[in-house]
Copies of this chain bind each other. A is one copy, B any other.
Amino acid sequence: MAKIVVMPGTLAEGPGPRVRVTRQKRAVATLLDETEEFTSAQDLHARLRASGERVGLATVYSQLRAMAGSGEIDSVRGDSGETLYRRCGSPVHHHHLVCRRCGHTVELDAPDLESLARRLGEEHGFSQLNHVLEMTGVCAQCPREAD
């Protein structure tokens, strides 16, 4: 089921709730900017606390959820069941290959995949195609033991 998300300045917003800029939001956004790899809400929260920021865990969760919902950041699921977030680098369509152990991420540019997806859809008479590929694995730097 599709979730309709209206991004600021995209469609007629009507008399909806106005977003407010808070110290907490800036702190999370900033830390996210400085972080390359996918990280969890708990990790972000711990780092914010460690650096002296006064931010609640629930707030971090709420914010990440909002940002992910509006497409501002990407999210994937880690091995231990938690959700990992990261500021999405390139605005163009691409996919991620994420290490389930350490969160190390590689941005994939796979033209073959794009054409393949298009072909598959057209073969079945579908139009207005869209696709999301989420790849995960264990990177070369991580122990490959199974558990």
Number of copies: 2
Residues 115-147 of chain A: 1 if any B CB is under 8 Å from the residue's CB, otherwise 0?
011001100111111111111111110001111
Known A-B contacts A81-B77, A81-B81, A120-B108; the reply to A144 vs B127 at CB < 8 A is yes
In whole angstroms, how far apart are the Cα atoms of A128 and B145 in the complex?
10
* Contact present for A135 and B110 (CB under 8 Å): no
Q: Which of chain B's residues have a CB closer than 8 A to the CB of A112?
A: 116
Known A-B contacts A127-B138, A128-B137, A135-B131; the reply to A147 vs B2 at CB < 8 A is yes
User: Which residues on A are within 8 Å of B, measured CB to CB?
Assistant: 1-3, 5, 69, 77, 81, 97, 99-100, 106, 108, 110, 112-113, 116-117, 120-121, 124-140, 144-147
